Each structure stands twice: as structure tokens, then as C-alpha cells.
């Protein structure tokens, strides 16, 4: 066993003494030691209950003959960090999470790991660590929040964000906003729509590193606790069979996960995280794979913000197994990949339920013949940009309009809420990329303001930053190269004609070459910010969004 390095033999008597200081018995020390990586804290609604999940995981480990050893990791609540300097730290926390787990697991050689994430950057950070460390591992999340109810309608966190702008526009009363604030988030769990957290938890299941139900069983259901116990027992089986993450997470497994991503209409943040996770496993994911798979994969599911349904509805409709069984029906998945069940995907799907035809539509009657995410290319984004096309109004799939350019999110929000953005405009927010932000802030504030002002079907937004999974409308992010790196977006000016053609995967500015070259010589890039601490190191080390915003390789 790997843990023998710190516990076996007479020379490890001091090490065992330290275990005994914590109350471990000789029998517990002799058993396999399973690290339980718990992201529990009291600042994220999706994580506030993870002590219960961890307790159940540990019960399952003990039932199967192992000794659980719990340790924590940090986490940022993107909703609470939204709209202020805190959002600069959200994406940046992903690398710290992966690094801190590596430190704990290398300093204390556990035999296997159970990861307990739930929200935003914690899920991909843990997945990166699992691929990097490559010891037997399995995931179980804390589960999604139930949707709230207000005046007999389902509501969620995004309803609240959009309500702020609706009050400003006179489309909602302050009294109703207060009622919405009390109703939108009824309890623990990751926010109820197909936002980043739930997208990543569903894809963890789809890629084969979590048991069925991981992405969809609501946080407050007893089935979530049973899943945690089953996960604790399952890790002992994986350890016995020596099944490791890199045997499961192969190129075919990534293709399966991206296919599910596209069919579900997941958050655009998955385009940032999946390449970063692949990088840790020695796999290079080109952005083109999203368009290639999207071209053959229909969009079968539209959860909030793209549609009226929430994660609890997807769970009742059969969850990820039902969706994958439907995709497999026409050969859209690789059935021969290994999963943490110890069986391949094809065997797992033999017992999966059928789709309901409503929350999850059939391949014969999809929402659209093409998938939910698209990568756009053109002179604004030579290295690519990302849009959640399933959440774009049909009239905005092709759009031509004048640029309204802002060097940062705050000025853009002020202009939107101040009524200075008109139908047909294209809002451009730059210097918000991984390096220039730094930290690539989510633009939920501007997109919610656009939606709340009733402009989401007439106004587009472009940024080298990124979007919350709760964003809807013609919101195009991850524009690469970013402004701070001398990308085209740095040289756009008010009034430039922007051409958006999502069906043809095109994003361009209409300008002649002579004018363009003249402007590039005249315009000076914004000087780098004076930064200290972790953000300064992050800005120096981070790579482009087009490569997953991973840290650059040291020379």
C-alpha cells in the first residue's frame, strides 16, 4: 500500500505515535488510508452541508474495510464574489485547490481519495488534482439546490440577479425584488440551474469519475446521503482493482463528456475547465473538438437559464444516465470506456432509464439539431471565443451592430443600468482576461443587467472575460488573445461595426486593413496593474483562455 511509506516497520514508530495522538487504533492504521477531500465551509450554500456528505462517505469507507482521513480545501462562492474585486480570485482559486491537494497527498501518502466538491472552481480544481496524482479516486458532490418558488413560478439565483436590473428599468417593484430575494435560494446545494457547478458535477459523472446521480440528485434528498455511502464503499473496490483516474479519463472519455456537455447546454466555463483537466492527464484538447462534436450532437435539454427546468427536473427525468442512453442509441458515445463502477459505460447504460421526452428530448425531436456550445473564430478572436448558443434568442444568432467599448466590467454595468446602451448595440468589455483582469471575472453583472433591462434579445456582449453558467443572451466570452496580451479586442473603438454569425462560427470587426494597421500603431495597451500577493503571481503565470487558463510551463 502507498500509505506503508508512513506507517509500516519499526522505523515508523514515531509516525504511528502521531496517528495514535489523534485517536487512531492499530487496526485503523493497518487498514488502507483513504483521503477524504472535503470542501466544506460556511460561505458557499453548496458547501455548507458537506460535513454530512463527508460523514456518510467515511461510513461507507469503514463499511468496506478502509480508514478515512479527512482534510479540507478552500472554495469561493461565485455568486457572493460577483460584482466586486472578489471575482478576480474565483478562477485563480482553481490552481490553488489543485496544488493544495497535491501537497496534502504527497506529504501524506494516502492509498486512495474520495473528492467532495460542489461548486464552480472547486470541482475542476479537484479533477485536475485527481488526474495529476493518479491514485484510485472517486467523486461525490453535495448535489444541486432545489429551485425556489415565487407566485407559483420556479425561480433561482439568476432570477434575483436579473431582478436588480428589472427594478432599475421599472419592470419590477422593490417589494417583489425583496420577495424574490427571500425565495430564490431555498436551501443548501449548488444553485439550481445548469450553471457552472452543476455543469461540472454532471460532466464528472459523464466522464466516468462519479457514480450515477452525482450531478442531479438534490442536496436535501436522502438519496444523496446514500450515494455518499455507496461512493465510500466504491473507493475500496477501486483500490483493490487498482483502477486509476487516467485509466478512466481518456480521450474517448473527454469526447463523451463534451458530447453530454453539448446535449445538455452546459455553462461556457466547461470550455475553460475541460482543457485544463485534460492537460493534467497529458491530453491536449483543441477547441475545435467542441464545434466538431456540436455539429453532430443535438441539444436535448434546456435548463435554467436557457429554459424553464431545473436540476431536480432533470433528476426526475432519469438524470445523466437517461441522457447518455439516448445519445448512445445513435452511436454518439464511446461505450467501451472504463468508469468508477468498475464496468464500462456500455454496461452501465444497460440499466439506465429511458428519457421522459420533455425535460430530456429525444434525438428525433431535439431543441436544435446542433449542440448548446459553439466556438467562434475571426479577426476579433483569432484563437477562438465561446458562446452558449442554446441560450441565444434566434434573432440574435446573426447580428450586426456598433461597438460600445469599455475597459472593465464596472463602467459597462453603469452604462447599461444608466440607459446608455440601445437595442442593436454590441457591448465590448475588455481587460478582463486571465492575465489582464487578472482572474477572468464572470460577467453575470452585465449580462443580468442587459436581461433585466429587457435588452437580451437585441444587445450582444463580447468580452475577454468569461460568463456565469447563469448567463443567457448573445454573450460571447473567452475572446483570445485577450486585450492585455495585445489581442484584437484591445484595438476596438466605439462605433466599430461588429459582425456576429453564430451558425457560421464567425466573429469579426468590419474594418479595412490600412485603418486597422494605423490604429494598432496609435493605440497603446493599458499598462499592467500594480498587483501584490497571489494575484500578481497568477497574472505572471497564467496562460490564455484558449488553452484552459492553466499555468504556463516553467522554462
Closest CA relative to residue 121, chosen from 224, 199, 186: 199
The DSSP output letter for 89 is G
C-alpha cell of 7? 506507517
Query: What's the pLDDT tens digit per position in 32-68?
Result: 999 999 999 999 999 999 999 999 999 999 999 999 9
Distance CA 388, CA 373 (A): 5
Q: Are the beta carbons of 402 and 497 closer than 8 angstroms?
A: yes
Q: Does the pLDDT at position 388 exceed 70?
A: yes
Q: How far apart (Å, rounded) are the C-alpha atoms in residues 524 and 15?
A: 59
How many Å apart are CA 543 and CA 110, to the nearest integer? Answer: 31
Task: Judge contact between 212 and 320, C-beta under 8 A.
Answer: yes
Half-sphere exposure for 93 (CA within 13 Å, toward CB): 19
CB 8 within 8 A of CB 15: no
> What gap in Å lies between CA 190 and CA 49, rounded to an integer?
11
Report the first-to-last Cα separation within the chain, whole angstroms.
35
pLDDT tens, position by position, 397-448: 999 999 999 999 999 999 999 999 999 999 999 999 999 999 999 988 898 8
Q: What digits encode the pLDDT tens for the residues 105-125?
A: 999 999 999 999 999 999 999
| Partners of 377 in the β-ladder | 506
Distance of CA 211 to the CA centre of its chain: 19
Nearest in space to 450 (alpha carbons), one of 439, 437, 463: 463
Read off the pLDDT of each residue in 116-138 and give the average, rounded to a whole number: 97
**pLDDT value at residue 291:** 96
Residue listed under C-alpha cell 456582449? 461
Q: Of 207, 228, 368, 373, whose CA–CA distance to 290 is shortest?
A: 373
Q: Which residues contact 228 (CB under 8 A, 6 or more apart)?
A: 53, 54, 56, 57, 60, 116, 140
| Dihedral sign of CA atoms 156, 162, 167, 171 in order | negative
How much is the pLDDT for 555? 57
Q: With cut-offs at 50, 70 and 90, classify the pLDDT of residue 554.
A: low
Chain centroid to Cα 302, Å, comes to 17
CB of 219 closer than 8 Å to CB of 145: yes
The predicted pLDDT at position 470 comes to 73
Helix axes 122-133, 270-280, angle to 10 degrees: 20
pLDDT for the residue numbered 169: 85
In angstroms, the CA 251 to CA 242 distance is 20
Give yes or no: 468 in active site: yes
Per-residue pLDDT of 175-205, as tens digits, reads: 999 999 999 999 999 999 999 999 999 999 9
pLDDT tens per residue across span 295-340: 999 999 999 988 999 999 999 999 999 999 999 999 999 999 999 9
Which residue, 245, 10, 208, is CA-closest to 105?
A: 245
C-beta of residue 473 within 8 angstroms of C-beta of residue 306? no
Q: What whole-number distance in Å separates Cα of residue 274 and Cα of residue 254?
A: 8
Handedness of CA 289, 290, 291, 296 (dihedral sign): positive
The residue annotated as part of the active site, out of 3, 90, 294, 468, is 468
**CA–CA dist 229, 249 (Å, integer):** 23
**Cell matching residue 527:** 499598462
- Is the CB of residue 480 less than 8 Å from the CB of residue 464? yes
Q: Apex CA 234: angle with CA 191 and CA 46, to 5°?
A: 15
Q: Is 265 left (phi over 0), alpha (psi -120 to 50) or beta?
A: left
CA distances from 323 to 141, 190, 311 (A): 19, 21, 13
Do 405 and 494 form a contact (C-beta atoms < 8 A)?
Answer: yes
Amino acid at each position: 500500500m502507498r500509505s506503508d511509506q508512513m506507517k509500516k516497520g519499526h522505523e515508523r514508530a514515531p509516525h504511528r505515535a502521531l496517528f495514535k495522538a489523534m485517536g487512531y487504533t492499530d487496526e485503523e492504521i493497518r487498514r488502507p488510508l483513504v483521503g477524504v477531500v472535503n470542501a466544506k465551509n460556511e460561505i458557499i450554500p453548496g458547501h455548507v452541508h458537506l460535513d454530512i456528505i463527508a460523514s456518510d462517505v467515511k461510513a461507507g469507507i469503514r463499511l468496506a474495510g478502509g480508514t478515512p482521513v479527512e482534510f479540507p480545501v478552500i472554495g469561493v462562492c461565485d455568486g457572493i464574489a460577483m460584482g466586486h474585486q472578489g471575482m478576480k480570485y474565483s478562477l485563480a482559486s482553481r490552481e490553488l485547490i489543485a496544488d493544495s491537494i497535491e501537497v496534502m497527498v504527497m506529504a501524506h501518502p494516502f492509498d486512495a481519495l474520495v473528492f467532495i466538491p460542489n461548486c464552480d472552481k472547486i470541482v475542476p480544481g479537484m479533477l485536475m488534482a485527481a488526474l495529476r496524482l493518479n491514485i484510485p479516486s472517486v467523486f461525490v458532490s453535495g448535489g444541486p439546490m432545489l429551485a425556489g418558488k415565487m407566485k407559483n413560478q420556479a425561480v433561482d439565483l439568476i432570477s434575483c440577479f436579473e431582478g436588480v436590473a428589472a427594478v432599475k428599468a421599472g419592470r419590477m417593484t422593490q417589494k417583489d425584488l425583496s420577495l424574490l430575494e427571500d425565495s430564490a435560494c431555498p436551501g443548501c446545494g449548488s444553485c439550481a440551474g445548469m450553471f457552472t457547478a452543476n455543469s461540472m458535477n454532471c460532466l464528472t459523472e459523464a466522464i466516468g469519475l462519479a457514480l450515477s446521480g452525482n450531478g442531479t440528485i438534490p442536496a436535501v434528498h436522502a438519496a444523496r446521503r446514500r450515494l455518499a455511502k455507496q461512493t465510500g464503499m466504491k473507493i475500496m473496490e477501486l483500490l483493490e482493482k487498482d483502477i486509476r483516474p487516467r485509466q478512466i479519463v481518456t480521450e474517448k472519455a473527454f469526447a463523451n463528456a463534451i458530447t453530454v456537455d453539448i446535449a445538455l447546454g452546459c455553462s461556457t466555463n466547461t470550455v475553460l475547465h475541460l482543457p485544463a483537466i485534460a492537460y493534467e492527464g497529458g491530453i491536449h484538447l483543441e477547441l475545435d473538438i467542441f464545434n466538431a462534436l456540436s455539429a453532430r450532437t443535438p441539444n436535448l435539454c434546456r435548463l435554467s437559464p436557457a429554459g424553464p427546468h431545473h436540476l431536480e427536473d432533470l433528476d426526475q427525468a432519469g438524470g445523466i444516465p437517461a441522457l447518455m442512453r439516448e445519445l448512445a442509441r445513435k452511436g454518439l458515445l464511446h461505450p467501451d470506456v472504463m468508469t468508477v463502477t468498475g464496468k464500462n459505460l456500455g454496461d452501465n447504460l444497460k440499466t439506465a432509464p429511458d428519457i421522459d421526452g420533455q425535460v430530456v428530448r429525444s434525438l428525433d425531436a431535439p431543441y436544435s439539431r446542433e449542440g448548446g456550445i459553439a466556438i467562434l473564430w475571426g479577426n476579433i478572436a483569432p484563437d477562438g471565443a465561446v458562446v452558449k448558443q442554446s441560450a441565444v434568442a434566434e434573432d440574435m444568432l446573426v447580428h450586426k451592430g456598433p461597438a460600445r467599448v469599455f475597459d472593465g466590467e464596472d463602467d459597462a454595468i453603469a452604462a447599461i443600468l444608466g440607459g446608455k446602451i440601445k437595442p442593436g448595440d454590441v457591448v465590448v468589455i475588455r481587460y478582463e482576461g486571465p492575465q489582464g483582469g487578472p482572474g477572468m471575472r464572470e460577467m453575470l453583472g452585465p449580462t443580468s443587467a442587459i436581461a433585466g433591462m429587457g435588452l437580451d434579445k437585441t444587445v450582444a456582449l463580447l468580452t475577454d472575460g468569461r460568463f456565469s453558467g447563469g448567463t443567457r443572451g448573445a454573450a460571447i466570452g473567452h475572446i483570445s488573445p485577450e486585450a492585455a496580451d495585445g489581442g484584437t479586442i484591445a484595438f476596438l473603438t466605439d462605433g466599430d461595426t461588429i459582425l456576429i454569425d453564430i451558425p457560421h462560427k464567425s466573429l469579426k470587426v468590419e474594418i479595412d486593413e490600412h485603418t486597422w494597421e494605423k490604429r494598432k500603431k496609435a493605440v497603446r495597451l493599458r499598462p499592467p496593474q500594480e498587483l501584490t500577493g497571489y494575484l500578481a503571481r497568477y497574472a505572471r503565470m497564467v496562460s490564455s483562455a484558449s488553452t484552459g487558463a492553466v499555468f504556463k510551463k516553467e522554462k
